[in-house]
Chain A
Amino acid sequence: MFDIKGYGWLLWKGVQLTVLVGVFSMAIAILLGFVGAWGKLSGSRIARTAAGAYTTIIRGVPELVMILLVYYGVPTLIQDIFDVNIDFNPFAAGIATIGFIYGAFSTEVFRGSYLAVSKGQIEAAKASGMNRILLFRRILLPQMWRFALPGLGNVWMVLIKATALVSVIQLPELMRNADIASRSTRLPFTCYFAASLIYLLLTVVSMSIQQRAEAWANRGIRRA
């Protein structure tokens, strides 16, 4: 598609890493979102406090600061105190951090989607003798997906662009490679324009996937 003086492949490699980091981070974010939402809605005070602290702190600290802290700050601190050498894998550190951050946003999405399921249905399920697991699987989960998907799609789109931040921890993703290519070729407009088109393409593809997922989650629901 693009050659850009021979640097096109560099962008392509960047795209691969961007998508990989995005998908893994999103998986972690969804998992943490479930756990967080469970915590926030649980009867246990400790779980509520922990989940509350999680969403408050994470949503309050800029992503870049968080990534720098996890990858550089924590090892530096530990090395200073214990005089050992630790080396985080940048990919693992990157997806863990981004997943952890967007887990906080997904928490709120899932919390909202739980609250959107009508109380009457839950009571009816309990009354008909379903245990908690069956209730969750049969009644809550199918409906929560339906309410959560628009919000999760939103989280995903913000997340995929936030992956540009992992370039500070030695991960050459799309944005970083576009930067390298632009300065090495002295064609900044071409390289950044290509990168922005690629991001746009990723977004368009994501939107069509999201639409299908929503159609699937909405099966059996009559449109008003």
Chain B
Amino acid sequence: MKKWGVVVLVAILAVCWVGNASAADAKKKLRIGTEGAYPPFNLVDKSGQVQGFDIDIAKALCKEMGMEYEFKVQDWDGLIPGLLAKKFDVIIASMSITDERKQKVDFSNKYYQTPARFVAKKGTGITVSKEGLKGKKVGVQRATIHENFVRDMFGDAVTIKAYATQDEANMDLVSGRVDLVIADATVLLGGFINTDAGKRFEFVGPSYVDKKWFGDGVGIAVRKGDNDLRQKLNKAIDAIRANGVYQKINAKYFDFDIYGK
């Protein structure tokens, strides 16, 4: 009986390991997997509809490609397995392009890359440069790409205070213990500037998207080898960037450019 059990177990586990589904059928309807729980990029509204930046971009891309669309709202953990099992054809869910994910799926070119930005109290007139930041205290979340960035770029000019969470850094900005904080601009906008606590604060300085610290941005995942679809998506991304549709969607959610360079 034990041997039997082992054989079956190995068989079951073997199923687990098999990953890559082959080329997709060229159906007209694009089935889009998304999470629906990452506002403002994708969320489920009160009437049960998916909304958000990702969703608007997805619709615009489908219109550009002349395809129908259907959203499959799905827990984050099931997104890549669902794509591989052909439950849907693409993932448009603010998924960052990483080397680890690239082993399982292919990515389109990025469709956005949220920049890192500094936030300071309104009207302080801080210029963001090595000179302008000299002697300032900067709050940042510990062990993040943003901490690496600020250490590498401004480490010799500023005093860095690292916090366990971004909220703690923000609270110390409010109480004046630090002069600036730096983090993902969308996180700062939704989680701080647009809240009561952050009313008296604003973005200062440029948007940072340098690949060295901030990676490749956010792309659309497709099954490995699904090159036709991937190229169509890339073309469509270029097209909506060129014809102004992208900028309109961008402006609906953010008052700064989130595509980056």
- Chain A contact residues, CB within 8 Å of chain B: 5-7, 10, 49, 52-53, 56-57, 60-61, 65, 68-69, 71-77, 79-80, 83, 85, 87, 167-170, 172, 176, 179-180, 183-184, 186
Complex interface: chain A residues within 8 A of B102 (CB) = none
Nearest chain B CB to A115 CB, angstrom units: 20
- Assess the B81–A172 pair: CB atoms within 8 A: no
Q: 9 shortest A-B CB distances, which residue pairs?
A: A72-B81, A6-B46, A168-B78, A73-B15, A183-B37, A72-B85, A184-B43, A76-B85, A75-B85
Complex interface: chain B residues within 8 A of A176 (CB) = 75
CB-based nearest B residue for A71: B85
Q: In the complex, what distance in Å separates the CA atom of A111 from the CA atom of B175?
A: 65
User: Which of A56, A85, A170 is within 8 Å of B5, CB to CB?
Assistant: A56
Q: Given A57-B9, A76-B84, A87-B87, are A184 and B21 neighbors across the interface (CB < 8 Å)?
A: no
Q: In the complex, what distance in Å separates the CA atom of A10 from the CA atom of B36?
A: 13
- Assess the B44–A168 pair: CB atoms within 8 A: no
Q: Is B242 an interface residue (CB 8 A)?
A: no
Q: Is B26 an interface residue (CB 8 A)?
A: no
Complex interface: chain B residues within 8 A of A69 (CB) = 12, 15-16
| Residues of B112-134 whose CB lies within 8 A of A | none
Q: Is B8 an interface residue (CB 8 A)?
A: yes
Q: In the complex, what distance in Å separates the CA atom of A184 from the CA atom of B46?
A: 9
Complex interface: chain A residues within 8 A of B75 (CB) = 167-168, 170, 176, 179
User: Which of B4, B16, B20, B72 is within 8 Å of A49, CB to CB?
Assistant: B4
CB<8 Å pairs between A and B, sample of 15 = A73-B85, A75-B85, A75-B86, A76-B19, A76-B81, A76-B85, A79-B85, A80-B20, A80-B21, A85-B25, A167-B75, A170-B87, A172-B73, A179-B37, A184-B45
Complex interface: chain B residues within 8 A of A85 (CB) = 25, 86
Nearest chain A CB to B58 CB, angstrom units: 17
Nearest chain A CB to B195 CB, angstrom units: 9
Q: Which label, helix, strand, loop or mixed, suits the secondary structure of the A interface? A: helix
- Assess the B1–A170 pair: CB atoms within 8 A: no
| Residues of B1-35 whose CB lies within 8 A of A | 1, 4-5, 8-9, 12, 15-16, 18-22, 25
Complex interface: chain A residues within 8 A of B18 (CB) = 73, 76-77, 80
Q: A72-B81, A87-B87 are in contact. List 15 more A-B contacts (CB 8 A).
A: A5-B46, A69-B12, A72-B78, A72-B85, A72-B87, A73-B81, A76-B18, A76-B21, A76-B81, A76-B86, A168-B81, A172-B73, A176-B75, A183-B38, A184-B43
Q: In the complex, what distance in Å separates the CA atom of A61 from the CA atom of B20?
A: 24
- Assess the A57–B81 pair: CB atoms within 8 A: no
Q: In the complex, what distance in Å separates the CA atom of A102 from the CA atom of B67?
A: 43
Q: In the complex, what distance in Å separates the CA atom of A171 from the CA atom of B206?
A: 43
Q: Is B48 an interface residue (CB 8 A)?
A: yes
Nearest chain A CB to B80 CB, angstrom units: 9
Give per-residue flags for B127-146: 1 if the beta carbon is below 8 A from chain A beta carbons, else 0: 00000000000000000000
- Assess the B73–A68 pair: CB atoms within 8 A: no
Q: In the complex, what distance in Å separates the CA atom of A49 from the CA atom of B7?
A: 14
Complex interface: chain B residues within 8 A of A74 (CB) = 15
Complex interface: chain B residues within 8 A of A169 (CB) = 78
Complex interface: chain A residues within 8 A of B74 (CB) = 168, 170
Q: Is B155 an interface residue (CB 8 A)?
A: no
Q: Is B39 an interface residue (CB 8 A)?
A: yes
User: Which of A53, A60, A83, A184 is within 8 Å of B39, CB to CB?
Assistant: A184
Give per-residue flags for B37-75: 1 if the beta carbon is below 8 A from chain A beta carbons, else 0: 111000111101000000000000000000000001111
Complex interface: chain B residues within 8 A of A57 (CB) = 5, 8-9, 12
Q: Is B260 an interface residue (CB 8 A)?
A: no
Q: Is B77 an interface residue (CB 8 A)?
A: yes
Q: In the complex, what distance in Å separates the CA atom of A42 from the CA atom of B78?
A: 40
Complex interface: chain B residues within 8 A of A61 (CB) = 9, 12
- Assess the A53–B25 pair: CB atoms within 8 A: no
Complex interface: chain B residues within 8 A of A170 (CB) = 72-75, 78, 82, 87
- Assess the B73–A49 pair: CB atoms within 8 A: no
Q: In the complex, what distance in Å separates the CA atom of A85 from the CA atom of B23?
A: 11
Q: In the complex, what distance in Å separates the CA atom of A72 from the CA atom of B84?
A: 8
The listed residue with most B CB atoms (<10 A of its CB), out of A87, A180, A186, is: A180
- Assess the B1–A49 pair: CB atoms within 8 A: yes
CB-based nearest A residue for B36: A180
CB-based nearest A residue for B4: A53
Nearest chain B CB to A106 CB, angstrom units: 20
